[in-house]
Amino acid sequence: MREDLDFSILSNAWVLIALLLVVLLESITVILASINYRGIVMNISGVFVKFHVAIKVYNIANMYKFIPGGLLQVLGRNRMAIETEGLRHSKVALATLLEGLLWILAALILSTVYSFHYFMDYFRQLDVLPWIPPILILILFITIPIFYRFRNPLRTTLKKINGDANGRFWMILVKYLIFMLAMISLWGLSFLATLTILGQPLTLGLGITIVGLYILSWLLGFLTPGAPSGLGIREFVLLMSLGGIINEEILLSAIVIHRVLQIAGDIVAYIMAMSYASIKNRKIR
């Protein structure tokens, strides 16, 4: 990054207050994600998970994402099975897998919708638009036979999970997907807010595009193995995609500051979750 990066705007008290509100927004989204995950676990397992146990375990595991590899973040959630009677480790693992797939699907939907015009312009520059329909058709020809081949095992698995392969389970998935769409949008809006606070002028169309490209950068960081919390990947994608659209110096400052705000938000959410769990445990005793 450039050596002349200017953070003097942080000396403004109102700017600091606004950035603290972004930290609060980030921490709230982590708490909401833990509530969402608790719902997935309970629907898959049919076992009631105490609220304070769920948010405590989720936020402890969430802190593990800063350790390279990402495996501890996944394994850490299985502590929920240890602290909940009748909850099997396999159900927690299945919930984690399902949550991950829903995050990916939600991010793909939002990044495509929000940044549709950006992608179309980019594809036109590469002169690849004529290739897109054949590629989509090829994907369908590959995926449909695979789905057809495994449709019966899938239906059987869903019946075991929720007793209804064709109805209620799919409605539950849609409910969680909608919840995740809202949360990922909030992540994009927090980055957009950071840009605005630092002085980047915006229009409605540009703001929507920025949110979509941020979500894309988050998704690529999420899918990259070994990158703790997408570190490096997310920043690179943002620089490559937004560098020619908005003020470069503000963009660089926002990328650095927003990463710090996110880490602070994770810490605040962890403190909130642990404090709440501690209070509940004292009442139980």
Domain residues for the domain of 43 are 8-284
Look at residue 2 and tell me if it is in a domain. no
Q: Is residue 193 part of a domain?
A: yes
Q: Print pLDDT tens along the chain (285 aa).
A: 444 566 777 788 898 999 999 999 999 999 999 999 999 899 888 899 999 999 999 999 999 888 766 677 778 898 999 999 889 988 898 888 889 888 988 999 999 899 888 777 666 666 655 666 676 677 667 766 766 665 565 556 556 555 554 556 677 778 888 999 999 999 999 999 999 999 899 889 899 999 999 999 998 888 887 666 667 888 898 998 898 888 888 999 999 999 999 999 999 999 999 999 998 877 766
pLDDT in tens, 4-43: 566 777 788 898 999 999 999 999 999 999 999 999 899 8
Write 96-102 long-range contacts (CB < 8 A, 24+).
96/37, 98/40, 98/44, 98/173, 99/36, 99/37, 99/40, 99/176, 102/173, 102/176, 102/177, 102/180
- Tell me whether residue 3 is in a domain: no
Q: What is the dihedral of CA 111, 113, 117, 122, to 10 degrees?
A: 40
The answer to whether position 272 is within a domain reads yes
Q: Is residue 71 part of a domain?
A: yes
Name the 3-class secondary structure at 54: helix
Q: Look at residue 29 and tell me if it is in a domain.
A: yes
Provide the number of structural domains found in the chain: 1
Neighbours of 181 (CB within 10 A): 17
CB burial of 104-130 (b: ≥16 within 10 Å; e: otherwise) equals eebbeebbeebbeebeeeeeeeeeeee
pTM of the shown model: 0.83
Q: Could you tell me if residue 1 is inside a domain?
A: no
Domain-embedded: residue 276: yes
Q: Each residue of 190-200: b (16+ CB within 10 Å) or e?
A: bbbbbbbbbeb
Longest dimension (CA), the chain: 67
Q: What is the pLDDT of residues 150-193, one digit of tens each?
A: 556 555 655 655 555 455 667 777 888 899 999 999 999 999 99
163: amino acid identity, one letter = G
